[in-house]
Structures are given as structure tokens and as C-alpha cells.
Structure 1
């Protein structure tokens, strides 16, 4: 399989997997707290990765662990908690749309902190994306008063974390295998996540409650497939594509998430749809950059 074909395969698989993650979080929150959802997701994913990838950690040098740790906390530790917290107040489909800001943040952070070159069209795309975000939040506050759109801040913080992660891996860790990067990232966050899970009362209040078995099953699927395996695919994608292309998984991801949301009874009004389309227009403009020899 050619490099060009592989990056599109990874992109489509990730869109389907991550697009389905939001409905799993929503279902898990029926019985679990946001802290328990986030902690359990990390513990399941980290345990699976350490089981299959522990030996790969030998390839990571002492100097590289600082980048692994930064990537781990920014993309594997904080977002699971922040997304779960956001979805206590915002529909799963809308949450996925807000997550579409990742490519815009990737371009902005790459330019400001990692020496990436940005074009005028990309700058315009960033502003268009921000305009769409404001429109989406305003429409949500106006037409969905039962939802607290201030919680969108948690999604935006997660999007920033993902953007930092993409740039860190692309600049400092592409010589390592995706398995080593992913396993190392979760190795650094699994212990604090487990400690948080203990203090959340999970093992005293939830573990023995049969009614919680289904929410835990949702998180098990989310942790293994939607987090561990998806992160492996994503790190493979980063190796063969540009940071902004890798972040473009958020093109298809919202569509998958919105379809799941509609299936579950969620509604998306016309103004929210317009805001979503403006965001995706901004993402498209950011991706229409000058072509590089190896990556698009």
C-alpha cells in the first residue's frame, strides 16, 4: 500500500472510530460521573497498550521522555476528562463539531511555537473557523437553553491539547514507532488516572453495582478501540502526513457523531448547522496550503 493510500485509510478509519466515541461517552455518563468516565477510559486504554507495547518503550531515550510526557498529558490525560465533563451539558454531535477546531489550532500553534510557515489563506481560515465557533455557540445558547454552552470551553481546551500533541510528535518523535509513542504517552498518565479513579469512589460505589456494568462496557469499548487502537492509527497517520492533514480527521468525524446523535434523539437546528459549515470551511481553508514534496 502506498504512503498516499495509507494516510487516507487511516483518516477514514479514525473518522469512523472517533466519530462513534461521543455517543459512547454519552451512554457511559448515564451511570458514571465525568471523572469516572475519563479515568476509566485512560486505565482501560493504558492497560491494553502496556500489554501489547511494553517492549517498545526501550526505544525511547531519556531525553525523549519529556516530549512523550508532554504529549501524554496534553492528548491522553486531560481530554478524556474534559470531553466527559462537556457532554454532561452539550449534545454529543455538537461536541464533535466543536472538536473540528483541531486543524485550526494545529496550524496556529505550529506557526507560533514550532516554526511552521502559514499562508494568508490559512490565517483567514483560522478566523473563519473562529467565526463559525462563535456562531455555533450563539445558536446553541439561543435555541437550546437547556444546554450550557459555556461547557464548550472544555472542548476547546481539548482541541488545543490535541493540536500541541500533533506538533510535538511531528517535530520531535516521528523517528519512534507509533506503538512506542502511544504506549509511552499512556504509561505516563495511567497512574494519575488510576489514582483519580480511586478517589472518585468508583471501586466502592460503582464496581459492585450491576446497573453500572453496561456503562462500564461502553467505556471498555471506548478505551480499547476509541482510544488505544485509534491513537496507534493516529500516530501512524502523523508519520506519513503533515500535521494539518492529520488533524483533518475532524472533517468526517462530526458527520459520524451527528448521525449517531440523531439516531439517539438529538436535534441540530439550522443555525447550528450553518455554524458547523462555517467551521468546516475554515478548516478547508487552513488545509489549502502550499504543497510540500512529501506531505499534503
Structure 2
């Protein structure tokens, strides 16, 4: 398969997997707390990756482990909890649309931290994206007064972390195999996840007797194996064969999948929210359209 074709295939597969992740988080929360969900998602994903990728750890050089560890916390550990916390208050479709800020943040952080230039078109795209985000949040708060839209901040923080992660992978881990990166990530974050789980009362009778516990576990296992472990390897590959912004633009397509799931699950989505979503995606499109001015590897 040609590399150009390959990167587009990876993009669409990831959009389908990650676009479905938001409804899986929502369903998992029916019988689990956000902290139990975040910890279980990390532990299950880690066990799967260890079973297939332990030997690949040999490919990670000593000076690369620092970046693998940082990547693990920024790209997997912390966001797993933040997204779960966010979805206790806001709809899964809204969460997925806010997640579209990742490419915009990738550009801003790429410039601020990694000294990667950007064009006027990209700057214009960033501004449009943030206007759309503001409209989406304020309109959502009006449309769903029973939901606390301050929790959207947890999603926005996660997008900053994801943006840092893609730039780190591209700049410092470009030559490390995607499976090695993913497995190394979970070597770093598995023990913290186990510690968190032990402090969540997961192993109590009230958790195991909850009426939604069994189905929540099914959802979190599917989420972990596909939405985290498999997608992590695919995404790391996509970053290496394309650019951080192209890889992050998987968020163009994710909201379409997530919105479909949300509507099927009875979530409300007003006309102005649709307009705001289009504005965000337009901003992401414009930002992705431009080219980095420096460092041809990007």
C-alpha cells in the first residue's frame, strides 16, 4: 500500500474507533465512577499491550525513555480520567467536538515550545476554532441547563496534552516503532493506574452489585482494547508517516461518528450548536491547510 493511501486509511479507521469511544465512555460510567473508568481503561489497555509488545521495548534507547514516559502521561494516563470526569456532566457528542481542538493546539504549542512556524491561514484557523468553541460551550449551557459546562474545561485541558504528545512523538520518537512507544507508555503509567484503582472502592460489594456493573465492564473492555490499545498503535504510526497536524486532524471525522451515536442515544443537539461545530471544523481545516514554515520533517 502506498504511504499516501496508507495514512488516509489509518485516518478513517481511527476516526471510526475514536468517534465511538465517547459513547463507550458514557455507557461505562453507568456502573463505574470516572476514576474507576480511567484506571481500568489504563490497566486493561496495558495488559493487552504487554501481551503483544514487551519484546518491542528493546528498541527504545536509554535517552528516549524520558520522552516515552512523558508521552504516556500526556497522551494516555491523564486524559483517560479527564474525559471520564467531563462526561459526567456534558454529552458525549459535545465532548467529541471539543476534542477537535487538538490540531489547533498542536499548531500553537508547536510554535511556542518546539519553534515550528505557522502561516497566517493557520493562525486564522485557530482564531475561528476558538470562536466556534466558545459558541458551542455557551449554547450548550443554555440548551442543557442541567449540565455543568464548566466541565468542558477538562476536555480542553486534554486537547492541550494530546497536542503536546503528538509534537513529542514527531520530534523525539520519530524513529521508535509505534508498538514500542505504546507499550513503553503503559510501562510508565500502569502502576499509577493500579494505585488509583485501589483508592476508588472498586473492590467493594457496592461496585460489584450495581445493576449496570457487568455491562459497564463490557463497555470499558471494548473501549480499552480498541479505543485505547489498538488505536494508540495506529495513531503513533500515523504521526510517523504523516505530520502532527495531519494525524491530529482525525478529529475532523470523529465528531460525525460521535454525533451519530449521541443522537441514537437521545442526546439533544440544537441548530446553533451545529453551526458552532461547523465553525470549529472550518477552523481546524484552515489550520491544517497551511504548511509549517520550518523543519521539513513536519
Is the TM value for this pair above 0.5?
A: yes
Distance 2:222 2:256 in 1: 20
When residues 267 and 170 of structure 1 are mapped into structure 2, their CA distance, relative to the original with a 3 A threshold, is same
Alignment of 1:197-212 (within 5 A): 197-205=197-205, 208-209=208-209, 211=211, 212=213
What CA distance in whole angstroms lies between the structure 1 residues aligned with 2:205 and 2:71?
Answer: 32
- 1:224: which partner in 2? 225
Q: Structure 1: 5+ residue runs without aligned partners?
A: none
For 1:187 and 1:216, the matched residues in 2 are separated by 23
TM-score, normalised with respect to structure 2: 0.96
Runs of 4+ in 1 over 6 A off after TM superposition: 291-296
Whether the 8 Å contact between 1:42 and 1:80 is mirrored in structure 2 is yes
Alignment pair present for 1:274 and 2:275:
yes
2:143 is matched with which residue?
Answer: 143
Alignment partner, residue 25 of structure 2 = 25
CA shift, 1:291, in A, is 7.8
Judge conservation of contact 1:86–1:151 (CA < 8 Å) in 2.
yes
The aligned residue for residue 261 of structure 1 is 262
Q: Which residue of 1 aligns with 2:2?
A: 2
CA distance in 1 between partners of 2:81 and 2:205 (Å):
19
- Which residue number corresponds to residue 180 of structure 1? 180
Match of 2:243 in 1: 242
Paired position in structure 2 for 1:156: 156
Contact 1:40 1:219 in 2 (8 A): yes
Which 5+ residue runs of structure 2 have no aligned equivalent?
none
Which residue of structure 2 aligns with residue 288 of structure 1? 289
Cα contact 1:240–1:295 (8 A) shared by 2? no
Q: Does 1:193 align with 2:193?
A: yes
The superposition leaves residues 189-221 of structure 1 with CA deviations (integer Å, 9 ceiling, x where unpaired) of: 011011101110112246643731110110000
Distance 1:205 1:184 in 2: 34
**Distance of aligned partners of 1:215 and 1:291 in 2 relative to their CA distance in 1, 3 Å threshold:** same
Measure the CA separation in 2 of the matches of 1:79 and 1:233.
18
C-alpha separation in 2, matches of 1:221 and 1:163: 25
Whole-angstrom CA distance in 2 between matches of 1:114 and 1:205: 49
Task: Please say which of residues 198-207 and 101-110 is displaced more in the overlay.
Answer: 198-207
- Corresponding residue number in structure 1 for 2:112: 112
Residue 295 of structure 1, CA deviation: 7.8
1:63 is paired with a residue whose SS is: helix
Shift in alpha-carbon separation, 1:240–1:196, aligned structure 2, 3 A: same
Alpha-carbon shift at residue 186 of structure 1 (Å)? 1.3
Whole-Å separation in 1 of the counterparts to 2:210 and 2:127: 49
Tell me if the contact between 2:139 and 2:273 (Cα under 8 Å) persists in the aligned partners. yes
Matching residue of 2:99: 99
SS in 2 for 1:21: helix
The answer to whether the aligner puts 1:125 opposite 2:128 as a matched pair is no
Does structure 2 conserve the Cα–Cα contact (< 8 Å) formed by 1:244 and 1:287?
A: yes
Stretch of structure 1 that moved more, 130-139 or 204-213: 204-213
